[in-house]
Amino acid sequence: MVDLLYFIAFIFCIVVVAQMFRVYELILKLKGGGSKDVVVTEGENKTMAWFYVIYLFLFFGMYAWCYINYKDYFLPVAASIHGEEIDQLLAFNFDMINIVFVITIMPLFLFPLKYYYRKSRKAYWYPENHKLELIWTVVPSIAMAVVIIWGLQTWNEIFEPAPEDAIQIELYAKQFDWTARYSGADGKLGNFNYRLIGGTNGLGLDPNDENVNDDKIVKGEFHLPVNRSVNFAFRSQDVIHSAYMPHFRAQMNCVPGMTTQFHFVPNKTTAEMREITGNPEFDYILLCNKICGIAHYNMQMTIVVESEEAYNTWLASQKTVDEKGILAGLKETEKTKNTNLLAKNN
Ligand SMILES: [Cu+2]
């Protein structure tokens, strides 16, 4: 209804403007000059040309002001090895775009001043220039090729399989929180099945898989060692979530029914990052970056990056699935039932 009123108001505005022009024409006619076209003088042309120049400086001024004023809202330096490469690639793209933008926009707004209509001057007929055409085809082609080749190389490097000695962590998403699961001493994450989700077993861990018992389940905050490759497996219980770790330039969807993966090497500890940002409160964070429901905003986890010794001490202090008794509640009969279900499933 409101939209309709806006539309009607818009139509009335057009009618009013048209009527004003009609009145203006009638006044001109009364003054005796009505049948002639409106003549724009050289002076008026020049004024308009200067407005273009003023606009140009206002525009670039605003551009610079926004950049300086909102600099604090940008992400700080990347805290992972591949993140630094992504930042370089992005900076190269932006530098190139900015240079071309300034080079093309400046003449666009300065030419009106140089070439506004004067009676004494004739336009120069300049139909073609093969050399110029060759330059403006070849130079952007080369720039484009550099961006694509560099981009593909970076992409391939990032998505190479994780190294053998990578730390295995599972990030499990559900409405509305995260759970991190670390592989135990065996370096293997135990099996799971969605049919086993229930009671204390929120992750659907398989009680019949021996690798499960030494896994460690962590909530609220998880730790990573600096300069070690970390391989994440992402799962979701309900809807699509997205694990977003902005400071490491990492994001991966968590999709129900499948496991997604991403690995990276964090290269700055939380303490180092606090110094870099000048913020003693700084913490790395894991966020959900898909609007997954009403408490989506609250779906986060703190990440602590520290030395390998500190990480090992922290991990040792965490209780295993066995110690927490997460699967103890599962009766033997249920275990058998579940085993049968799993067998049938496979
Ligand atoms: Cu979510």
Q: Which two tokens stand for residue 272?
A: 């180092």
| Total Cβ atoms within 10 A of residue 295 | 11
Q: How confident is the model at residue 214 (pLDDT cuts 50, 70, 90)?
A: confident
Residues 124 and 127: their CA atoms lie apart, in Å, by 9
Residues linked to residue 329 through DSSP beta bridges, in sequence order: none
Residue 294 CA to ligand 1 centre (angstroms): 9
- Kindly give the distance from the C-alpha atom of residue 183 to the centroid of ligand 1, in angstroms, as a whole number: 23
Q: Average pLDDT, stretch 301-329?
A: 83
329 — pLDDT class (breaks 50, 70, 90):
low
Query: Strands (DSSP E) along the chain, which ranges?
Result: 167-174, 177-182, 216-218, 221-225, 230-236, 241-245, 250-254, 260-264, 284-288, 300-306
- The model's confidence at residue 207, banded by pLDDT at 50, 70 and 90, is confident
Name the least confident of 18-27, 34-43, 124-133, 210-219.
Answer: 34-43
- The continuous run of DSSP H or E covering 34 comes out as none
Q: 75 C-alpha vs ligand 1 centroid, how far in Å? A: 21
Q: Is the pLDDT of residue 253 over 90?
A: yes
Separation between Cα atoms, residue 170 and residue 322, nearest integer Å: 17
The CATH architecture annotation of domain 167-345 reads Sandwich (2.60)
DSSP state of 196: G
Can you tell me the distance from the alpha carbon of 206 to that of 190, in angstroms, rounded to the nearest whole number? Answer: 7
pLDDT band at 234 (very low <50, low <70, confident <90, very high): very high
Residue of 288, 241, 235 whose CA lies nearest to 257: 235
Distance from the alpha carbon of residue 202 to the mean position of ligand 1, in angstroms: 16
CB under 8 Å to 259, separation ≥6 — which residues?
Answer: 233, 234, 235
Q: Does 41 or 260 have the greater pLDDT score?
A: 260
Q: Percentage of residues in the chain with pLDDT exceeding 90? A: 54
Q: How far is CA 198 from CA 170, 201, 202, 324, in A?
A: 19, 5, 6, 16
Using one digit for the tens of pLDDT, what is the confidence trace for 142-172?
A: 999 999 999 999 999 999 988 888 888 999 9
* Average pLDDT over the chain, rounded to an integer: 87
Separation of alpha carbons 90 and 96, rounded Å:
10
Mean of pLDDT values over 64-92: 91
Instruction: Determine the distance separating the centroid of ligand 1 and the alpha carbon of 42, expressed in angstroms.
Output: 62
What is the Å distance from ligand 1's center to 169 Cα?
Answer: 18
d(CA 210, CA 321): 11
Can you read off the two tokens belonging to residue 269? Answer: 């500890």
pLDDT in tens, 257-308: 899 999 999 999 999 999 998 899 999 999 999 999 899 999 999 999 999 9
pLDDT in tens, 2-20: 889 999 999 999 999 999 9
Distance 185 CA to ligand 1 centre (A): 30
Task: Say whether pLDDT at 346 is over 60.
Answer: no
Q: pLDDT value at position 71? A: 86
* 179, 200 contact by CB (below 8 A): no
Residue spans of the domains in the chain: they are 11-40, 167-345
> CA dihedral defined by 187, 191, 197, 202, rounded to 10 degrees?
0
Distance 286 CA to ligand 1 centre (A): 11
Query: For residue 299, what are the β-bridge partners?
Result: none
Nearest to 251 by CA among 104, 83, 108, 114: 83
Region 172-188: mean pLDDT is 85
**Is this model's pTM higher than 0.85 or not?**
no
CA of 242 to the centre of ligand 1 (A): 6
Lowest mean pLDDT among 62-71, 194-203, 236-245: 194-203
Tokens linked to 231: 């391989």
More confident residue, 342 or 252: 252
Peptide bond before residue 176 is cis, with ω within 30 degrees of 0: yes
Say if residues 277 and 247 touch (Cβ distance below 8 Å). Answer: no
Name every residue whose Cβ is closer than 8 Å to that of residue 239 and which is 6 or more positions away in sequence: 175, 256, 290, 292, 293
pLDDT in tens, 89-101: 999 999 999 899 9
Instruction: From 284, 267, 234, select the one nearest 82 (Cα to Cα).
Output: 267
User: How many angstroms is it from 200 CA to the middle of ligand 1?
Assistant: 21
pLDDT of residue 153: 94
As given in the structure block, the two tokens for residue 8 are 């009607």
**291 CA distance to ligand 1 middle (Å):** 6
Q: Is the pLDDT of residue 35 over 60?
A: no
pLDDT at 224: 93
For ligand 1, the distance from its centroid to the CA atom of residue 243, given in whole angstroms, is 8
CB 300, CB 285: distance < 8 Å: yes
Half-sphere exposure of 294 (CA within 13 A, CB side): 0
Taking the CB of residue 305, how many other CB atoms lie within 10 A of it? 27
**Cβ contact 286:246 at 8 Å:** no
